[in-house]
Amino acid sequence: MRISRRDFIGLGGALAATSLLLPSIAGARATASLIDAASGGVFDVRAYGALGDGKAIDTPAVNRAIEAAAAAGGGTVRFPAGTYLCYSIRLKSSVALYLEQGSTILAASTPREGTSSGGYDAAESNAPWEAYQDFGHNHWHNSLIWGEGLHDVAILGPGRIWGKGLSRGHGGDPDLPIAERPGVGNKAIALKNCRNVILRDFSILAGGHFGILATGVDNFTVDNLIIDTNRDGIDIDCCRNVRVSNCTVNSPWDDGICPKSTYALGYPRATENVTITNCYVTGGYEMGSVLDGSFKRFGPEFDLNPWNRTGRIKCGTESNGGFKNITISNCVLESCRGLALETVDGAVLEDITITGITMRDVRNSPLFFRLGARMRGPKGMPRSTFRRVLVSNVTCSGPANTMPSIISGIPGSSIEDIKISDFFVQQKGGGTNELNQWTPSERETDYPEPFRFGPLPAYGFYMRHVNNIEFSNVEIANVAADARPALWLDDVNDSDFSRLTLSKGRGGPAFVLNRVSGFRVTGSRSLPDMMLSDIAHREI
Task: Read off the pLDDT band of 400 (50, 70, 90).
Answer: confident
Higher pLDDT, 200 or 1: 200
Q: Where do the DSSP E strands lie in 251-313?
A: 257-260, 271-277, 280-282
pLDDT of amino acid 303:
85
- By the 10 Å C-beta count (0-12 exposed, 13-18 middle, 19+ buried), 311 is classed as buried
Mean predicted lDDT score pLDDT of the chain: 90
pLDDT of amino acid 413:
97
Taking the C-alpha atoms of residue 207 and residue 145, their distance in angstroms, rounded to an integer, is 11
pLDDT of amino acid 116:
60
Query: What are the CA-CA distances from residue 306 to residues 180, 253, 337, 363, 435 (Å)?
Result: 26, 10, 10, 9, 21
Task: Determine the average pLDDT of the residues in 254-279.
Answer: 98
Instruction: Return the percent helix, strand and coil in the chain, to nearest 5.
Output: 10, 45, 45
Domain boundaries, the chain: 337-540
Contact 139/126 with Cβ under 8 angstroms?
Answer: yes
Whole-model pTM: value is 0.91
Contact 507/530 with Cβ under 8 angstroms?
Answer: no
For residue 92, pLDDT beyond 50: yes
- Residues with Cβ < 8 Å from 334, sequence gap 6 or more? 280, 281, 282, 284, 359, 360, 361
Task: Determine the average pLDDT of the residues in 475-479.
Answer: 93
Over pLDDT 70: what percentage of the chain? Answer: 90
Taking the C-alpha atoms of residue 343 and residue 261, their distance in angstroms, rounded to an integer, is 10
Task: Read off the pLDDT band of 66 (50, 70, 90).
Answer: very high
Q: What are phi and psi of 433, to 5 degrees?
A: -60, -30
Per DSSP, the chain holds a count of helices (H) and strands (E) of 6, 35
Taking the C-alpha atoms of residue 149 and residue 151, their distance in angstroms, rounded to an integer, is 7
Taking the C-alpha atoms of residue 254 and residue 337, their distance in angstroms, rounded to an integer, is 10
Contact 513/540 with Cβ under 8 angstroms?
Answer: yes
Contact 102/52 with Cβ under 8 angstroms?
Answer: no
For residue 192, pLDDT beyond 60: yes
CA proximity to 334, closest of 402, 422, 250, 239: 250
Q: What are phi and psi of 210, to 5 degrees?
A: -135, 130
pLDDT of amino acid 170:
61
Torsion, CA 428, CA 420, CA 488, CA 496, rounded to 10:
-140
Dihedral (CA of 365, 369, 372, 375) sign: positive
CA proximity to 511, closest of 404, 416, 417, 430: 404
Q: What is the pLDDT of residues 144-167, one digit of tens each?
A: 999 999 999 999 999 999 999 999
Task: Read off the pLDDT band of 23 (50, 70, 90).
Answer: very low
Q: Where do the DSSP E strands lie in 378-534?
A: 385-397, 405-408, 415-427, 461-478, 487-502, 511-522, 530-532
Q: Could you report how far apart the first and last alpha carbons of the chain are, in Å? A: 78
pLDDT of amino acid 202:
98
Taking the C-alpha atoms of residue 399 and residue 427, their distance in angstroms, rounded to an integer, is 5
pLDDT of amino acid 336:
95
Taking the C-alpha atoms of residue 148 and residue 151, their distance in angstroms, rounded to an integer, is 9
Query: What are the CA-CA distances from residue 446 to residues 318, 321, 382 (Å)?
Result: 13, 19, 17
Q: Where do the DSSP E strands lie in 307-347?
A: 314-315, 323-334, 339-343
For residue 434, pLDDT beyond 90: no
Q: How many CB atoms lie under 10 A from the CB of residue 188?
A: 27
Please report, as a single letter, which amino acid is at residue 304: L
Q: What is the pLDDT of residues 441-464, one digit of tens each?
A: 999 999 999 999 989 999 999 999
Contact 183/206 with Cβ under 8 angstroms?
Answer: no
- By the 10 Å C-beta count (0-12 exposed, 13-18 middle, 19+ buried), 171 is classed as exposed
Please report, as a single letter, which amino acid is at residue 239: C
Q: What are phi and psi of 358, to 5 degrees?
A: -115, 125
The answer, yes or no, to whether the previous bond of 317 is cis (omega within 30 of 0) is: yes
pLDDT of amino acid 329:
98
